[in-house]
Amino acid sequence: MLVTYREALNQAMREEMQRDDRVFLIGEEVGYYQGAFKVSKGFVEEFGPERVRDTPITEAGFTGLAVGAAMAGLRPIVELMTFNFGILAMDQIVNNAAKVRYMSGGQFSVPMVIRGPGSAAHQLAAQHSQSLEAWFCHVPGLKVIAPATPHDAKGLLKSAIRDENPIIFIEAQLLYGTKGETPEDEYTVPIGKADIKRPGEDVTLIAYSKMLLLSLEAAEELAAEGIEAEVIDLRTLRPLDVPTLAESVKKTGRLVIIEEGWKFAGLGAQIAETVYSNVYDYLDGPIVRVTGEDVPMPYTRPLEDLAIPDKARIIAAVKQVL
């Protein structure tokens, strides 16, 4: 079944809310407005305002409410209008959601999903274009997911809703309208498992979210020159699927990591260290990272384009390691 990324998320939440009446959705404009990006279209009509809760503009407030609800036995889905606004809820996410199970000695779990758009869209400028996944990956107790395709978005969101831990689920804003095939039957995608989206022998490309689509485009262009790149979609950023990454680099001997976030202390640095420490003897060249520029996102389109990785930079990085 061909669906958009937005529709896949809608299906995942609807199916889980139908399956388990403990699941509810909370956030700004998720009810009668149907979500800022229309992901919750039709929900308030089907499930009612008790389970599809519109909130004031209080990220710390409704995220904290969801933490308490999860501790009390419910399974909340928190929609952030953008993960840039999640900064306002970092105390609830980092000091409460991520730590309650540990600090209670396992007496309480926090089964909740915090989801919404992340990374840059088009000309949303410095305060609304940030890729903050490395922040969340730094926190023990959080699982972090960033799917690139409708298939993985649906399957991973269903798995996240069923998980007993707090999940950060980042949806790149520019992916909402992209299309892909999903099975008509019930399915889930396991958390913590990467996926080889394109096999290859010459170089490994590791990417996630919308950088995965860019990497696949680069791989096709490289194939026309006789360079076969293996493209791995992380899907889950924490926990990291180290065996899949290590086996690929063992085969190819070369690695390029692509991420939209800032380079300094970025997620790619952790991936590079992890791969290096596991398969150092198999590397035939230095690991190369393609990242966003270490600047606040410019507003003007030409400068925004320069700040974000593009296909040409990925191809140049591959040729560098070869």
pLDDT 10s digits, 248-290: 999 999 999 999 999 999 999 999 999 999 999 999 999 999 9
Q: Are residues 152 and 222 in the same domain?
A: no
Q: What is the C-alpha separation between 267 and 259, in angstroms, rounded?
A: 8
Of the residues 7, 16, 28, 59, which is catalytic? Answer: 59
Q: Are residues 45 and 133 in the same domain?
A: yes
For the segment 50-55, the average pLDDT, to the nearest whole number, is 97
Q: Are residues 164 and 222 in the same domain?
A: no
For the segment 10-39, the average pLDDT, to the nearest whole number, is 97
Sheet holding 203-207, edge to edge: 195-198, 229-233, 203-207, 255-262, 288-292
pLDDT of residue 56: 97
pLDDT of residue 101: 97
Where among 132, 156, 181 does a domain terminate?
Answer: 181
> Is 188 a domain residue?
no
Q: Are residues 168 and 205 in the same domain?
A: no
Structure tokens of 48?
A: 């009612």
> Is 163 a domain residue?
yes
Q: Are residues 251 and 292 in the same domain?
A: yes
> Is 315 a domain residue?
yes
Q: What is the C-alpha separation between 102 and 84, in angstroms, rounded?
A: 27
At 287, which CATH number? 3.40.50.920
How many structural domains does the chain have?
Answer: 2
- Say if strands 143-145 and 167-172 run parallel, antiparallel, or are unpaired: parallel
pLDDT of residue 50: 96
Q: What percent of the chain has pLDDT over 90?
A: 100
Q: What is the C-alpha separation between 98 and 95, in angstroms, rounded?
A: 6
At 136, which CATH number? 3.40.50.970
Coil, strand or helix at 77? strand
Residue among 168, 249, 268, 160 nearest 211 (CA): 268
**Residues spanned by the domain of 71:** 2-181
pLDDT, tens only, 188-222: 999 999 999 999 999 999 999 999 999 999 999 99
For the segment 78-88, the average pLDDT, to the nearest whole number, is 97
Question: Phi and psi at residue 6, in whole multiples of 5°?
Answer: -60, -45
Query: In angstroms, how far is the first alpha carbon of the chain from the final one?
Result: 39
Coil, strand or helix at 197? strand
Q: Are residues 82 and 202 in the same domain?
A: no
pLDDT, tens only, 110-140: 999 999 999 999 999 999 999 999 999 999 9
Q: Is 151 among the catalytic positions?
A: no
pLDDT of residue 305: 95
Q: What is the C-alpha separation between 159 and 218, in angstroms, rounded?
A: 30
Coil, strand or helix at 255? strand
Q: Is 122 among the catalytic positions?
A: no
pLDDT of residue 295: 97
Of the residues 29, 128, 138, 228, which is catalytic? Answer: 128
Peptide bond into 239 cis (omega under 30): yes
Q: Are residues 284 and 210 in the same domain?
A: yes
Where among 127, 156, 181 does a domain terminate?
Answer: 181
